[in-house]
Structure 1
Amino acid sequence: MDFRFRADETFAREQDQADELASFREHFCLPIAPSTGQPQHYFCGHSLGLQPKTVRQAVLAELDRWASLGVAGHFTPPHPWADYAADLLPLVAELVGAQPEEVAIANGLTVNLHLLMASFYRPTQQRFKIMLEARPFPSDRYAAASQAAFHGFNAQEAIVEIRPRPGEDLLRTEDMLEQLDREGDQVAVVLLAAVNYATGQFFDIAPIVELAHAKGCVVCVDAAHAIGNVPLALHDWNVDCAVWCHYKYVNAGPGAVAGFFVHARHARRFDLPRLVGWWGHRSDTRFLMPDTYELAPGAAGWQLSNLPILSMAALRASLDLFHQAKMARLRAKSLRLTEYALALLDGLNLQLLTPRAPALRGGQLSWRVPEPRRLANWLQSHGVIVDVREPDILRCAVAPLYNSFQDIWRLATAWRALTTERGES
């Protein structure tokens, strides 16, 4: 990436002045440092995104509608609750590279993973394994192991991890493909994160899906650390199904309602076993309360219950900002911000875990450091918010909707001050 920079604060200010997305920062509530009363420099969008200022009014509007309309709010415009997701699905589809009919908004990520595994994990004595990347997000491992056990298999035998080469932290695509080719005949489902939560590595999904299908495997993608962070193309990659949350880069609030994807080729596979509920019934006859269950086509057929409207209102507020900003522009800014961060921090003798190649990473940068908790606490005392994954990983993510070049400069300045104090530079 051709990005020339200077290490002075004036350069950071100049970059922010020239940034066509800079105004979006004003749409977010920035955490305030209690000691100074000043906005903090926030780099935890990979864990919990900041609150859009429009969220408060969006939620209050639904509370007012509930107060004044009662049950009639389900069918009263604008945004009747019974069909509240209708105009949100195209916005979510934009972020994951899908058709609107391929996505649904519901539940939590792991709930959705179990619902989809009920349909797509159909193990046999010959093909029962679930393949994951090494060090997957723990909930994925727990869910996969419990699915295997639920079907009567030994979880330790059923779970297969693709591990890095000795002495390396990152997975190579060729190694992932080689192991899948070697063991794929026993693999029922490949469950792979689009972006690994610990290292920030952005996997090359398309060739993995192609080989997995050739070997007879189903592919499920966990896009929790990818949606709103990197460009996704779930439909074109031919992924069978995917799950994600909306509280990280998508900024829909703590514990926000999640989403999932089912590829269009499965839209009318009504023969697939699944766990069903009222909201997965055809929408045109749902309120006729028929005795006979008729599945809705597409991802909607995996829904269970009606929608948590207050959480959906917060999601609406954030999706509107993404729609205005456009993912291609956000991705370009994200790469400039991360490249700037790497350039400023390169001289501090740090072990970077995240790939340096721009195509192989998103906004998250991870370093292996001694005493990461102490480092994170020191940075926080200087107005910089990062987070830790034990025992030795410090994670820092830029979210281009609200992070600035001056944020990056402040991060590097604080970190450099600490290393100077310790005599490490």
Structure 2
Amino acid sequence: MKFIHCADVHLDTPLQGLAEYPGAPVQEIRNATRRAFEKVLEAAVSEKVDFLVIAGDLYDTGLKSFESALYFNAQMARLKEAGIDVYLIHGNHDAASKLLKQLRPPSNVHVFRSAEPQTFLIRNLRVALHGQSFATPEITDDLAAGYPEPLAQYFNIGVLHTNLSGISEHANYAPCSLDSLRNKGYQYWALGHVHNRQVLCENPYIVFPGNIQGRHGKEQGEKSCELVTVSESGAISLKTIATSVVPWTELDLDVSACGDAEEVYDKLRSELEETVACARDRVTAVRLRISGLTDAHVELNRDPEQVRHQAISLANEYGSGLLWIERVQVATLPRLDRRALLTRDDPVGEVVRMLDAMRADPALLAQLAAVEELRKKLPNELFEGTQPISFDSTTLAAALDEADGLLLARLSELEAV
């Protein structure tokens, strides 16, 4: 018996942070989620799976176009012709969309109800699928606690859209514990909501497949779905099937050895060519960060918008139509003698000594991290997307380092005036 487990399709939602500009591969970007979904379906047909599981968030909040629902139904009709049934739950984003409720899917699509848990039986395969859809966008109850007991002599699959034990990058919807899932007695948990692939347990298998296409610069690397094979003895094996159409990558360009902007652009050209060579003929969305202690600092920071447009021009020239520059951050610093600054008996020296003391004081970082309590009072949207808020100690320490460099650079520039 074989099935594919996917989640968080977010069909037809635009990739975030990608502004249109001359030379950009616009059409590839616009169709990214559809093409990624088609990869899932092509794998289902070629692997001759028995069924497909979609663990929530097929659509996205605010998506109102019937064209998206018509497209989905057409794809499901393809699977129907191949004899493949589909089992799906509504996640938090689906619950805010009216598309699934207004347009009836083909008969091979089985949607778990939201009022209470529901079980679908595939009797010839001895498979029982248990699940419950979100009735509203924000479900804070433990839905899994109400799922039925496993059926004897059946392979039991739990389909659940959840943040599990409160994974920090995602809103804490339908929370439950890993132990509660492990002890339920099911053989496989098909989870959704968390966009990074995670195999949390292998006995039983508890799996987040991640989303099938990165939606913004924080969702980097290859995205995928899971091909699950169950032998006659009940042994389970997983195969990860790559689905990304437009992978996201962060290019950190260290220009410490560059003496001027021209040398920076020469190095950038080389890095962009290497990025294209590794792209396997796919469009890649690039988040560029230019960093390092460099003599080119003043020149680069004089007009960051010019740097951005130069990066776009190089991507168009050397990217073979396969690069999209999502963001350019100039984070360079001037060359400063920090030890000399520490000994200065003036406000600059005082600032340097204060920053070093802050960095060396774990108690201070702990105090900064205490603002985590604010998280409970802030909207969930602030913790998602391209620039989510984070209060963990690593992020706070990095922010302190960045503030240190920016402050010293500014003081240095003011002294030079």
TM-score when normalising by structure 2: 0.31
Of Structure 1 and Structure 2, which has the larger fraction of its residues in strand? 2
Larger Cα Rg: Structure 1 or Structure 2? Answer: 2
Does 1 or 2 have the higher relative contact order (CA < 8 Å, sep 6+)?
1
TM-score when normalising by structure 1: 0.31
